[in-house]
Structure 1
Amino acid sequence: MKKYLNNWTLATRLSIAFSLISCIVFLSVGLLSYHNMQKMLAEQRDQNLAARIERIEVFLKDQESFQILVQHPNLYENMVGKEDNLLILKNNNNTLIDINPLKVSIPDMDETKSIMFVDNKPKLSTTRLAYKTVIFKNQHYQLIAGKQLDETQSTLNQYLWKLIFYSLLGIVMASLLGRWIGLYLLKSLNNLIEQANKIQGTQLQQRFETKSTTVEVEKLRSAMNSMLEKIQINYDQLARFSEDIAHELRTPLNNLMGQTQIVLMHSRPQQELEQLLYSHLEEYERLSKMIDNMLFIARSENGNFIIKKEEVDLYRTILELVDYFEFLAEDKKMSFVLKLDKNVRTHGNIDLLKRALSNLLINAIDYGTEKQNIVISTKLDVNDVYIEILTNGVHIEEQHLNYLFERFYQIDFSRHAKAKTGGLGLAIVKSIMVLHDGEATVRNTYEGVVFCLKLKII
């Protein structure tokens, strides 16, 4: 059954739901109306009986009229006019007036000065009775008026059939109207589905153009367009990444194949073969490092990748890295200038943070000019610390700044440094910052280019 229901369209489900709601509403209104009609007819019947009792009571107050009524009861019977009406007047055990064409059995009734109502039988009653005790000239008279229930029941039955007819008519009309409204409201959604079916994997630049007057469908259209934009961006990045990695892997492989082919053309001395092996080893190390970096980036982009974090003293960590890279800076006659806050701590993985800072320091040394300073500073905010590495005398064209942290993105003059980072150094920095809920940015200043890492402080 559930499988069968899953094949129904949304318009069909809405129509059925609207029909069921209409059934519940119309049936509830019908039952309530029937109940109110039944109550209203019962009240009207009791009021008529009470009025009849009051009219006879008026006759009793006039002795002459009373005598005429007692002597000629058929006069009142003619006035009543219907066989289903009943009127009985008793004085003790004497029945003065007995108008009871249908011979309805009368139950025992107590004396009462107010008008009381009772059915002739506890179950399956046929007549409604009203009675009252009237005192006239110290005589106690009991008035009983009655009316058959058939007329009321007939009226209720007619009313019930009308209710059923109009309720069914209303349900049918509401169901048809619900079907039409469902198709109208879902028309824009169906158009959206048709457009989605036309979009192919090679046509991600297409967008959903047809706008809808339905707010929810319009939000869905905007969300799907936004999703397509993200997919296109990721698709373009993947395509560019595939091209870049093919290029990066092809270069060392071509070097290995070319050198090996040349050596195999003639016999070579052992020393030359050893040099070839050392050259091959360098290429292997470059390939291995590139693959490790790519695997790290791939893992870091996985939302389930968890790193071990601890309290990290940034001041001490930066000093250790500066001591390590100082000899490399001296080879280019460069020096480090430190402007650090001593009591700065963050919560993170110390090895990954060292790797990110190392990549930036290597970047600054490789691309910096001789006899210029590399300024490392920390700036505190309310909840964050900014680690800035300024390379004096170096500026990067603005069109490159937004792409520097992408994989294998290289500026022309920086291609000589690929052997150290494989074109993934800054991409690794960005991935490490993402794992630490931080941010990596770059900007040009008057003094030079500044790479900045943003981290949470504790």
Structure 2
Amino acid sequence: MNSLSLTTRMSLMFMLAVTAVLTVAGLSINHLSQRHFKMLDQQTLNEKLYSTQRILGELSSVDQFNELKPQLKALLGAHRDLTALILDSNGKVLFADPGPVNVPEQFRLTTNNSVWEWQDQEQMFRGMTAQATMVGQEKPLTVILIFDVTHHMAFFKTLQQWFWIGLVISALVSAALGWMVARSGMRPIRQVTMVAASMSAKSLKDRIPLAPVPKELQQMVSSFNAMLSRLDDAFVRLSNFSADIAHELRTPLSNLMTHTEVVLSRKRDTEDYENNLYSNLDDLKRMSKMIDDMLFLAKSDNGLIKPENKQIDLLEVVEKLLEYYRLLADESGIELTVSGAGRVRGDVLMLHRAISNLLSNALRYTPEGQTIRVDIQQKGTSTLVVVENPGETIAPEHLEKLFDRFYRADPARREGSPSNAGLGLSITRSIIEAHEGKIWCDSSNGKTAFHMELPSVGLKRA
């Protein structure tokens, strides 16, 4: 059954349902029809029996029975399928119309006015046995009325045969109709399959229209379209990422080639060779750092980053970082401040790197003589770290993309220093998400703030 197609399964289930309904309906009609005929026969037998008992009740002696035969014959002989027997107390047949019948002994002795059935070879009989009391006589007469219902049973037998033949034909027809209906109903699924089979990198923007799709399948089609949107977005990001990698690696490689070609263009002294090697070393370090960062992000995408689970005092981490960055900030007259306190669980080296990336980014874009503020806030079960710096407001359309790899708000790529590859914020987001936290940015009125929210384990008290 599992190997059958969905259309075939629906056709078989439709056929079984139709067959079950027709079977129940047919058996019910057959049972009710037989019951109806039996009730009609019982009613007729009761009427004939009552009339016969009333006639026989006028007798005062068995010797007068011959006088009632014409009346009994007129009453009981009018029905073609009815056989009537009247016996005296000794079992002698006093009246038989249309003729004597060999009734089984058990039915001769039954006197409870109930209908009994009796089959003789291919003939079927339905009868009733009762007593008729004569005036002044202690021993009653026995009245046996018998209906020949052979033609009734033959009719029902023929009806049953045609019913089973009709049931088989109906099952086959319902299976064919079910297959047609199921195939027609599965057309939208085939359309989805065709679209899925034709998907390629160049057709990820195609969507399945919802208008002709049945209501039951609209959610599936909407989910499929949403999946295509995610794939399209991921493919665009991957394409941009590949282009960005090529762009970022091209510059140091070009520098290495140019420096090497210039040095090799003629014979030089040892000092020139050393200067060239030092210059090449700087470019190699930049490439090495970029490759390490990309490997870190690749591990993050595959869930391979497993941070430690130690208690970390965020105020202590931030203060150590500020001691280092104050040396760089003093050159530009920039002030660094920290407020608040909070404690989280995680990897101190990873969080150190994440906060360092934000401080480095803030220091790069803060004007001279301004202040960078770090605020640590304890909020219930989470701790919020906010790094805020003054500077040019970032447009809203860039805020969500700041954490993309190699993304810069300036398309001309003129932002930052040559050592800045544009991976810092991507790494920071990966670290925060590895700690089951979240990070976002808002920028307005000449101030930009990065918010890091992490699960907390209690505030460190002074």
**What TM-score, normalized by structure 1, do the two folds share?**
0.86
User: CA distance change for structure 1 residues 144 and 393 in 2, over 3 Å: closer, same or farther?
Assistant: same
Answer with 221-230 or 235-244: which moved more. Answer: 221-230
Shift of 1:165: 5.5
Aligned residue runs from structure 1 range 37-436, under 5 A: 37-63=33-59, 70=66, 73=69, 76-77=72-73, 79-81=76-78, 84-95=81-92, 96-99=94-97, 101=99, 103-108=101-106, 114-120=112-118, 126-136=124-134, 137=136, 138-164=138-164, 166-168=166-168, 170-171=170-171, 174-196=174-196, 199-209=199-209, 211-212=211-212, 214-303=214-303, 306-340=306-340, 342=341, 344-412=342-410, 415-419=415-419, 421-436=420-435
Q: Is the 8 A contact 2:123 2:150 kept in 1?
A: no
Shift of 1:199: 4.8
Answer with 228-237 or 389-398: which moved more. Answer: 389-398
Answer with 348-357 or 229-238: which moved more. Answer: 348-357
Deviations 1:368-421 (A, max 9, x none): 2222211000234344332111113443344433321111112458644341x5
Give the whole-Å Cα distance in 2 for the aligned partners of 1:11 and 1:191: 15
Give the counterpart letter for 2:365 in structure 1. Answer: Y
SS of equivalent to 1:339: strand
SS of equivalent to 1:417: coil
Deviations 1:274-301 (A, max 9, x none): 3322222222221121111111112212
Answer with 54-63 or 247-256: which moved more. Answer: 54-63
User: CA distance change for structure 1 residues 374 and 301 in 2, over 3 Å: closer, same or farther?
Assistant: same
Shift of 1:84: 4.7
User: CA distance change for structure 1 residues 304 and 278 in 2, over 3 Å: closer, same or farther?
Assistant: closer
SS of equivalent to 2:344: strand
The aligned residue for residue 24 of structure 1 is 20
User: CA distance change for structure 1 residues 370 and 141 in 2, over 3 Å: closer, same or farther?
Assistant: same
The aligned residue for residue 441 of structure 1 is 440
Give the whole-Å Cα distance in 2 for the aligned partners of 1:377 and 1:415: 26
Q: Is the 8 A contact 1:378 1:387 kept in 2?
A: yes
Shift of 1:174: 3.9
Q: Is the 8 A contact 1:59 1:66 kept in 2?
A: no
Give the whole-Å Cα distance in 1 for the aligned partners of 2:434 and 2:80: 97
Deviations 1:241-267 (A, max 9, x none): 111000111111111111112222222
SS of equivalent to 2:451: strand
Give the counterpart letter for 2:205 in structure 1. Answer: Q
Percent identity, aligned pairs only? 25
Shift of 1:64: 8.0
Shift of 1:69: 5.3
Give the whole-Å Cα distance in 1 for the aligned partners of 2:58 and 2:304: 104
Aligned residues between the structures: 451
SS of equivalent to 1:108: helix
Give the whole-Å Cα distance in 1 for the aligned partners of 2:184 and 2:157: 40
Deviations 1:101-127 (A, max 9, x none): 473332235867641233346999832
Give the whole-Å Cα distance in 2 for the aligned partners of 1:279 and 1:102: 134
Shift of 1:367: 2.3
Give the counterpart letter for 1:316 in structure 2. Answer: E
Shift of 1:190: 4.0
Q: Is the 8 A contact 2:57 2:132 kept in 1?
A: no
Give the counterpart letter for 1:295 in structure 2. Answer: L
Give the whole-Å Cα distance in 2 for the aligned partners of 1:446 and 1:325: 25
Deviations 1:157-211 (A, max 9, x none): 2432453455456545544543443344334444444555555431222222362
SS of equivalent to 1:217: helix
Shift of 1:153: 0.5
SS of equivalent to 2:402: coil
Shift of 1:154: 1.7
SS of equivalent to 1:63: coil
Deviations 1:118-169 (A, max 9, x none): 3346999832231123333322222222223412202312432453455456
User: CA distance change for structure 1 residues 126 and 209 in 2, over 3 Å: closer, same or farther?
Assistant: closer
Give the whole-Å Cα distance in 1 for the aligned partners of 2:52 and 2:28: 37
User: CA distance change for structure 1 residues 133 and 231 in 2, over 3 Å: closer, same or farther?
Assistant: same
Q: Is the 8 A contact 1:321 1:358 kept in 2?
A: yes
User: CA distance change for structure 1 residues 306 and 39 in 2, over 3 Å: closer, same or farther?
Assistant: farther
Give the whole-Å Cα distance in 1 for the aligned partners of 2:35 and 2:210: 57
Q: Is the 8 A contact 2:385 2:452 kept in 1?
A: yes
RMSD of the alignment, in Å?
3.2
User: CA distance change for structure 1 residues 67 and 282 in 2, over 3 Å: closer, same or farther?
Assistant: farther
Q: Structure 2, unaligned stretches of length 5 or more? A: 458-462
Q: Is the 8 A contact 1:104 1:127 kept in 2?
A: no
Answer with 205-214 or 119-128: which moved more. Answer: 119-128
